[in-house]
Amino acid sequence: MTDWKTQYSANIMKSAALPSAELVRGEGARVWDSEGNEYLDFLAGIAVLSLGHAHPALVNAVSTQIATLGHVSNYFATPPQLALAERLLRLTGGDRVYFCNSGAEAIEAGIKLARRTGRPRILSLQNSFHGRTMGSLSLTGKPALREPFEPLLPNVEHIDSTIAALEAAIGPDVSALFVEPIKGEAGVIDLPEGYLAAAREITAKHGVLLILDEIQTGAGRTGSWFAFQREGIVPDAMALAKGIGGGVPIGALVAYGAAADLLVAGQHGSTYGGNPLVTAAADAVLAEIESAGLVANAAARGAEIRAALGGLPLVEEIRGQGLLIGVGLSKPVAPAVVASAAAEGLIVNAPNDTSIRLAPPLIITEADVAEFTTKFTKALEANA
């Protein structure tokens, strides 16, 4: 049989680097590769697997729903779609939700809301990540990702994450400001203290939509259901994906107040958006996060990890909230630390040369944190 690397190199489009292993099975916070190696998974499919791998609640929901009614079309309503909408609106405080298939698509829906205001300009932040489709890429604040695909959407400005920059850029021709409460892909970078509250006040004053990207921070990961809820603000819309589906591809745009009525019949849609299979899955994931107290677990385990990281070799800075943690290193050795961690049986990731991102499943236990600490310490020591 051809080995997986040869097959991958020959058959998969070269849009991503060659993976480091071929994973074949997962359970809880653990995965196994095709050579039989076991890993503690502290990346969770990049902040996706809220319940870890093969959680019975998700397995049962998907199995039951595919055997009952797997797909219809948006000509028909289904009970799981309605149940998920109710639960999401209760948890987010939103007024209406649009369902799609990914984070980038949730951002695209947000761009459509912005366009419906009739104002041409859009603001987003430098160093942000909002996705790779042409619209979401236009908002992404990393020139190296955008430049090979220009021209992108016109009238998008990437501003500094400061209130002064927002005040200088905002005006009556601005439709929306897109913001990640924590910049995950940038290396888990927190916004300046008080930024969201001030941005809310300024955008409201100018009639500009505040659209939050909680694709990576949402669904309990930061130790509150949604990161914005700690700031005492209400956005006009919020993009969700990743953790709400726990591994099943789903995205959602939750809208608040007048923004909830900006799109009218026929203006947006997607074949699979809100289909019964994925909405049953996401509803089961959110129900389990609620009933098992996983938001509180994310806060508690996150605090333990933070405490354990303090004083370890190479660790210069600890960023993020709950179980979305950025470890700032004193030397640009993050890729080597990731490789050493994998050799120890631990999956983490390096969004850049000086940052390690930790985004384990929300189900991790104190014992998992202890195991992580032992393995991560060895990985850091090997590169100090």
- Which spans of this chain sit near ligand PLP (rule: CB under 6 A)? 46, 102-104, 107, 129-131, 180, 184-185, 213, 215-216, 241
For 41, the token pair is 């998974």
CA dist 20 → 91, 120, 219, 339, 380 (Å): 37, 43, 28, 9, 19
Rg (CA), the chain: 21
Contact of 28 with 363, CB cutoff 8 Å? yes
For ligand PLP, give the closer residue by CB, 218 or 314: 218
Residue 310 CB, shortest distance to ligand PLP, in Å, is: 26
For ligand PLP, give the closer residue by CB, 107 or 364: 107
For ligand PLP, give the closer residue by CB, 135 or 383: 135
Residue 38 CB, shortest distance to ligand PLP, in Å, is: 26
Phi, psi (deg, nearest 5) at residue 223: 90, 0
For ligand PLP, give the closer residue by CB, 110 or 383: 110
Q: Shortest Cβ contact with ligand PLP: which residue?
A: 103
Contact of 104 with 136, CB cutoff 8 Å? yes
Locate tokens 């390096």: which residue? 350
Residue 46 CB, shortest distance to ligand PLP, in Å, is: 6
- Closest alpha carbon to 130 in 97, 163, 160, 106: 106
Active site residues per annotation: 129, 213, 242
SS3 345: coil
Residue 377 CB, shortest distance to ligand PLP, in Å, is: 28
C-alpha to C-alpha distance for 103 and 106, rounded to whole angstroms: 5
Tell whether the torsion through CA atoms of 218, 224, 225 and 227 is positive or negative.
negative
For ligand PLP, give the closer residue by CB, 42 or 375: 42
Residue 128 CB, shortest distance to ligand PLP, in Å, is: 8
For 274, the token pair is 């809100």
